[in-house]
Amino acid sequence: STYVCRIQIKGMTCTSCSTTVESALQAVPGVLKARVALATEEAEIQYDPKVISYNQLIEAVQDTGFEGILIS
Ligand code: 9UX
């Protein structure tokens, strides 16, 4: 089974920023799909909760240098 979560991302100012975060999330084991929208400052991530937790997803966002906040 898979879960979907959203993470608010602060500090992105250009599409290169959002692509950086999106690519980083897509490379994380357990992530099936990740989209990052610059306009809404949100990531939507489909993931396998047996492999990764949403706290670890937020950490993956923080590792790119942007601030990630769980919203749902
Ligand atoms: Mo361009 Mo986004 O330097 O930080 S990648 S603004």
For 37, how many CA atoms within 13 A lie in the half-sphere containing its CB? 8
Residue 27: Cβ-neighbour burial (10 angstroms; 0-12, 13-18, 19+): exposed
Distance 13 CA to ligand 1 centre (A): 6
pLDDT digits (tens, 9 = 90+) for 57-72: 999 999 999 999 989 6
Distance 48 CA to ligand 1 centre (A): 30
ipTM of the complex: 0.84
Q: What is this structure's pTM?
A: 0.94
Would the CB of 17 count as within 6 Å of ligand 1? yes
Q: Which residues pair with 37 in a beta bridge?
A: 42
pLDDT digits (tens, 9 = 90+) for 4-31: 999 999 999 999 999 999 999 999 999 9
**Two tokens at 70?**
């769980």
User: Atom of ligand 1 at shortest distance to CA of 11?
Assistant: 4
Specify the residue with its C-alpha closest to ligand 1, atom 4.
Answer: 17
